[in-house]
Amino acid sequence: MEVVVLDKPADVVAHGFTLVQKQVERKPDSVLGLATGATMEPLYKLMRELDLSRATTFNLDEYVGLSSDHPCSYAAYMRKHLFRQSPVKEHHLLNGLAKDIPAHCRAFEEAIEVAGGIDLQLLGLGTDGHIGFNEPGSSLNSRTRLKILTPSTRRANSKHFPPDETVPQYVLTMGVGTIMDAAHCVLLAHGSSKARAVAGAVEGGVSAFCPASVLQMHNRCTFIVDSEAAAELKLRDYYRTVFENKPSWME
């Protein structure tokens, strides 16, 4: 795991974009794993300038019970923040209205395999250490499946829903094992509310109670955080030194 500590949220987004840009320039037909949420919005604004016409994408998760036309669905989110401005060759979205959820999830996994695997997986980080919708307690070897959200996650996500609408309790999400299969994982986190989760994921023990901690075991994971999110990292000054003095051939 490479931990990159930068000063501001804008710096986190800029470095994340640089990694995506290099991936797409190196391999125009890249397979990208896409996350959602407020952290990703400024990143997707930058990614609109990229030529993604040969890229294939897979989204991390979706709410069960919401159609792709529902304004709070992640399908709608992706159209709004990326696909309308920078269309991709092929995008795969989990279907919140799938009649046979286990079969749909198996087909999603098979589609990733057929595409050749995910080259770069974008990730956000929940305040409790979840990645995708893999809540604390999720199996670290899990595959795409249905999950039940914790009350804290539903409260956190309620700001994206109208006051008279309840956040769905059920979701579909790539599993932790699915995420770990990606060739390169790029996680972005900023703000003091993420400090505890960042510390647990980077310097804590690998545990299902902090699903993001499994990324310590990934062959190539870049954890990009701002100074506030890095506040509880014991080795934050060392991480800065390593990043600032990394030889160019290691890029």
- 38 with 64: CB under 8 angstroms? no
Q: For the domain made up of 2-245, give the CATH fold.
A: Rossmann fold (3.40.50)
Nearest to 140 by CA among 170, 172, 180, 110: 180
* Catalytic annotation, pick one of 62, 109, 119, 135: 135
pLDDT of amino acid 182? 98
H-helix or E-strand containing 120? strand 120-123
pLDDT of amino acid 248? 81
pLDDT of amino acid 249? 79
pLDDT of amino acid 56? 98
Tokens, residue 138: 């999720």
* Catalytic annotation, pick one of 81, 91, 92, 130: 130
Residue 181, C-beta contacts closer than 8 angstroms, at least 6 positions apart: 112, 117, 118
Say how far apart CA 250 and CA 227 lie, in whole Å.
24
Q: Is 61 annotated as catalytic?
A: yes
Task: Report the chain's mean pLDDT, rounded to a whole number.
Answer: 96
* Catalytic annotation, pick one of 61, 62, 109, 181: 61
Residue 250 has pLDDT above 90, yes or no: no
Residue 17: band (very low, low, confident or very high) from pLDDT cuts 50, 70, 90: very high
What's the average model confidence in pLDDT over 117-140? 97
Q: Is 160 annotated as catalytic?
A: no
Tell the burial category of 51 from Cβ atoms under 10 Å away from its Cβ (0-12, 13-18, 19+): exposed
Position 122: which residue type?
Answer: L
H-helix or E-strand containing 21? helix 9-26
What's the average model confidence in pLDDT over 157-161? 92
Tokens, residue 202: 């980077």
**Alpha-carbon 34 to chain mean position:** 6
Q: Is 237 annotated as catalytic?
A: no
* Catalytic annotation, pick one of 62, 109, 119, 128: 128
pLDDT digits (tens, 9 = 90+) for 54-70: 999 999 999 999 999 99
Q: Is 7 annotated as catalytic?
A: no
Q: Where are the domains of the chain?
A: 2-245
- 177 with 146: CB under 8 angstroms? no
- 89 with 56: CB under 8 angstroms? yes
Q: What is the DSSP string of 46-59?
A: HHTTS--TT-EEEE
Residue 106 has pLDDT above 80, yes or no: yes
Residue 245 has pLDDT above 90, yes or no: yes
pLDDT of amino acid 247? 87
